[in-house]
Structure 1
């Protein structure tokens, strides 16, 4: 009876969805084979080596027959020496072939693994922000590490194992038939039940493997949530460390059960086959002694045949086990192909437009956007015109759509209606790399890499000089603080920047964006974590840098937007007021109400 997969978050049983069941069943072997297409010549060489090795190895039983039937009875020492030398030579040649075969096949397998890993990583890099908000971080990591890692044995050795064992089986069967076709029939009678039992075991392994990989993903999620800096801080402040340990322990226990079931699945069936295989030689000896066959076989032929029979069943068993491994690995391939088949929601255009000299005219034309799964539009019918070199400020209550508009400018999402243009060109007609060099974003959620301050800043411009890095830091009012550190710009910021305060992290992020010298600046609550004194200093830097640039500022503090050329007031995704600071105050509308409450 199968144990149902479980939800790693709650510890209870979780039923497989129909999509998951179909995914585990329907993986094209042809698609898997295409992974090896680029290496067909290496695989052809490996196949040739395997065939040659199989043919050479078949000489041993015939040499043995000659030793038993001729050399020993006739006491022909010279023939005996040559036959023994021949047997040693066969072993040496097949061993050399095996080394070369392993080297080539492992190289090919590792290259296929490398390509698979990089293809998945590159494809996920192209996914929209929506994918990452919908997907657990630990799930993504599990697909790239656990699932692809679990496929390694199959990818690196399965193809050569199939070719080697299949060639050996065919060649050995032919040699057995040449020695005695009657005894060959006795030996091969075990094949039908062996194939049937193997198919049963393969189906069991495949289901269990899919469950095990999902449990590993849940385990990764627990690790990510409990041992990241933010997760550890949350668990300590909420006192939930014990709950996390219990959750991790339960998930790990379920994983033990699945690992055991995976290893033991069908073992009693395969043990039955091993007993049958072991009994075949006894049946052969019995057959050789029956009245119809007595005297028709020499002792040497009988010994050579039983040797071949053992040689046959070893690759045959390996071939059947390889089939089981392939069937189990299909669950892993299904999970990887699921990610590779994800549609790219925000992608480069087929025929991209090059802007050349960028002026920075930004325009929203009746733009509507609804997040997937939501019924209410986050932005509805928004039309904005931000001429090049001007400043637009957006204000409004939380959830009014300000950050969504900022995300649309950076093309983190595409509008579901209307369009956003830059110098008259729809953002969807621009290359993403070109757009990222034009639009610089500083958001309220700062992310710093676990490396030095210098490398965090250089992340925005890999070829930036130290002087450029320091100039950007000065503009963001953070240079003096960095220089005062014992290691200066070579100070490690720590995981997610926990070496610095919120305001310091934001100023580093501002410097990182400014280092790219973008034509359009989007400041999404960029000064929200700064104290009043620091905010005024950074705002002065922004005012200087905004000259000649198009700047879109989102802020709750009205003091940071009063000097904007135009202010748009949003409510439930719509623009309810627009104008300058003085104009909006004179209207005594929503903006005036916000100003009085500030």
Structure 2
């Protein structure tokens, strides 16, 4: 049994009682459907032939009550199958969605660097819906089909062997037809999923960047791109509908041929006294009972292709192993001082040949304020991203208070590091909720204190609902400076011993920069701080400045010392003095 199949079956385990009850009612419903033609055969071949109407009346009443009872049993069975069966499927979908979302949280930046958000969303929404339908209807349809098929065969073979053989001669051909179509259906449905994932990614990309689209008046361009992707999806659907049409029309042809064979064969047999009219009528009634399981099994093939394709895509994600995980003997940090040391650290991104940097050696004492400068693309942000293990070093090691960060539990490591980025991300919600993200158990008083420390309290109180003001997706209702101060308040609340400021003021105007800079300096006091510098105003007073180039650390010192060296830093400084973004 493959691991994939075992994984699929494992989702039934918590609901085994519900599953078995569903199967019981499926058996009951299938059994009831086999009884009706036998009652008709008894009435036409025995009751109407051998009894007077007055004698048969009591029996007819009893048979009527029996059929009403069977109808009620069938009603209850079908209701349970339709309701509780679907509930079971929905719960399994819930479990799978929880699992894949939890798995998303474990994957590193390397994974997300190569993925489209819309496609990841498709895997957690559309794909799982068809898995639900398969998990519910699949076993149920198979059980009902087998019971009806085998039951009808046993009953018919006891009524008349020759016509039974005529009927069942068509069945193997029907299954060969279904098997032939299976791979074609699979390819078609997989292509559908890929296309809808691409459309979701395109929509997500467009809506996230709608302000850029409108600012460049490129709505028509975006619509053309969407129409092109949408057209490809239609063509993909057209192919899958062609396969479906071939399936269903082929099945319809087989049904008609079986009816024709039974009518012609039955007529010939009646002329030769091999079969009586009541038995022929019974055969015609059972044809639908035979064809329905075949139809269900063929529909199941279609459903199976949908569901298994979705499950394949689900497992593609689940089988991706996180490349950054805790060691078995990883330790939790206690009383962190904040000393950081890089020892011969080299790094390159997955699927790239060139190193971002190599052989970096750097020691930052606890409480030090270190500025990183250099031209764009030399790896300033990447270097800082290695400290919380957003990426893993290729060679060398990074120590925190003398401990290799790979020996520290990820959660513990990241809890002790605060990051303030240039591109602030605020969640859709209130100001209070966004600040509380830094410490989920924080009280309102602690949040307000953090906001005051970040110079954010005054403007928050001027908002319509103060701390309970809804700020929109990504904080769209706030200015850049306001968003940045809320992000700083979040880090104040977290209260970590190590800070990383990733060009935190580069996107702000001068006035906002001054307020935010005051907040950052207050936050950095007595904490180990890494500052990725964009503007000299943020680092001129730094005791330690590191100049990064493609060759690694090129220069070290304070502002004045580096100017006197008349090297890379001095060149960058001259560019900024001339109004050029030398430290971008």
Under a length normalisation based on structure 1, what TM-score does the superposition of the two structures give?
Answer: 0.89
Distance 1:167 1:573, change over 3 A: farther
Number of the residue aligned with 1:332: 310
Distance 1:415 1:301, change over 3 A: same
In 2, the alpha carbon distance for the partners of 1:150 and 1:27 equals: 20
The alpha-carbon deviation at position 186 of structure 1 amounts to 1.3
In 2, the alpha carbon distance for the partners of 1:213 and 1:79 equals: 57
Unaligned runs of 5+ in 2: 577-584
In 2, the alpha carbon distance for the partners of 1:254 and 1:591 equals: 52
Residue 393 (structure 2) aligned to one of 395, 399, 415: 415
Q: Write out aligned runs for 1:54-133 (5 A).
A: 54-73=30-49, 74=51, 75=53, 76-133=56-113
Contact 1:166/1:319 (8 A) holds in 2: no
The alpha-carbon deviation at position 321 of structure 1 amounts to 1.9
Unaligned runs of 5+ in 1: 1-25
Number of the residue aligned with 1:179: 159
Q: Write out aligned runs for 1:152-551 (5 A).
A: 152-228=132-208, 231-268=209-246, 270-290=248-268, 294-551=272-529
Q: What SS does structure 2 have at the residue aligned with 1:134?
A: coil
Under a length normalisation based on structure 2, what TM-score does the superposition of the two structures give?
Answer: 0.91
In 2, the alpha carbon distance for the partners of 1:358 and 1:415 equals: 22
In 2, the alpha carbon distance for the partners of 1:31 and 1:465 equals: 42
In 1, the alpha carbon distance for the partners of 2:221 and 2:523 equals: 49
Q: Which runs of 4+ in 1 moved over 6 A?
A: none
The alpha-carbon deviation at position 380 of structure 1 amounts to 1.3
The alpha-carbon deviation at position 367 of structure 1 amounts to 0.8
Distance 1:527 1:83, change over 3 A: same
Stretch moving more, 434-443 or 91-100 = 91-100
The alpha-carbon deviation at position 596 of structure 1 amounts to 4.6
Contact 2:388/2:414 (8 A) holds in 1: yes
In 2, the alpha carbon distance for the partners of 1:164 and 1:534 equals: 70
Distance 1:592 1:195, change over 3 A: same
Contact 2:131/2:306 (8 A) holds in 1: no
In 2, the alpha carbon distance for the partners of 1:44 and 1:476 equals: 59
Q: Deviations over 1:183-239 (max 9, x none)?
A: 2211101112101111233222211111111211221222122222xx222222333
Contact 2:481/2:513 (8 A) holds in 1: no
Residue-pair matches, total: 571
In 2, the alpha carbon distance for the partners of 1:571 and 1:92 equals: 81
In 1, the alpha carbon distance for the partners of 2:303 and 2:522 equals: 64
Q: What SS does structure 1 have at the residue aligned with 2:95?
A: helix
In 1, the alpha carbon distance for the partners of 2:7 and 2:174 equals: 27
The alpha-carbon deviation at position 293 of structure 1 amounts to 8.1
Q: Deviations over 1:568-593 (max 9, x none)?
A: 11111511122334443444443344
Q: Deviations over 1:491-520 (max 9, x none)?
A: 222222222222222121111122111111
